[in-house]
Amino acid sequence: MFDAVVIGDANIDLVVPGCNQVPQPGQEILVDNIAMHVGGGAALFAVSLAKLGIRVAFNGVLGNDTHGRYIRERFAEYGIDTRMVQTSKEHNTGISIAFNPGSDRSFITYWGSNIELRFDNLDIEQIVQGSHVHLTGYKGKRNHEQYITLVKSLKDNGVTLSCDVGWDDSGEWDGGVFELMKYFDVFLMNETECFHYTGMENLGDSLRYMSAYCSHVVVKLGKEGAISVKNGIIKRLPGYVVEAVDTTGAGDSFNAGYLFGFLSGKDVETSMRYGNACGALSVSGFGGSTNTPTFDQLEQFIRDHQNIKQSIQS
């Protein structure tokens, strides 16, 4: 049995810190460092959740190559079960190159084996070995029916469900997402995605609208923290003030902290505090999961910042 099964993308992130331009034809740019990390929203979430002490299994597709083996090895370091990970015969493992990750990031991305992940041919019996399932990779109309079929089957098997809806690269922001919300125990998104889907410009109005479809919605506000609605009650918690050096994976780290709280039976406010702390720690180091905490580190960070706050107030 697992505490949580994570379904979605995994790739290599090549992070180029301090580089704020892409080379022109015939040009070479020298940089101080290029670092390789595990990337992909689902993979970053899985690593961050495992570091907090949750027993995690990952379900996705990797290439039969050095990068795929690297990701499997990193997963193994954190005790993530990879028996559900498929190996592609057609594509290499995906790669994303991130330039200038401290500010307005630019990316060059090859999806690779991730494009083979389908939600209508997964082994349900394997997945429901976990008591909770976290889903990513929603593509609106392109995979809505696959998604609905999968989540219905998972709910019929008694698992709890969470989802980070993610960015709609089609630009449609289809209203089918509200049908999807009905099946989830926790539904997460960021502020921009929230406004695109609801068509509103006010967080309170947006949350009240979404709460008619899902009783537990969380909206990430970046450095401003997070806001949530659960059973009609809206709560907002400010973020922690830290120096950000790499915002890659900050939202996925928040998700891990929040869902760690949820899976541990904590209340919404505590879960948001965990999420904000994990997000803040994540942006303090290069790589999407390099600086995400263990549970002891999470508690220490929260205590330290509480002491700072009390010192300022006194």
Indicate whether 311 pLDDT > 60.
Answer: no
pLDDT of 90 strictly over 50: yes
More confident residue, 79 or 18: 79
Rounded distance, CA 305 to CA 166, Å? 30
Binned at pLDDT 50, 70 and 90, residue 35 comes out as: confident
Region 22-51 average pLDDT:
91
Higher pLDDT, 287 or 181: 181
Whether pLDDT at 105 is above 80:
no
pLDDT tens-place string over residues 136-193: 999 999 999 999 999 999 999 999 999 999 889 889 999 999 999 999 999 999 999 9
Q: Find the mean pLDDT for residues 109-116.
A: 96
Mean pLDDT across the chain, nearest whole number?
91
Query: In this structure, are residues 240 and 261 in contact, taking their beta carbons and an 8 Å threshold?
Result: no
**pTM, rounded to two decimals:** 0.93
Measured from the Cβ of residue 267, the count of other Cβ atoms closer than 10 Å reads 12
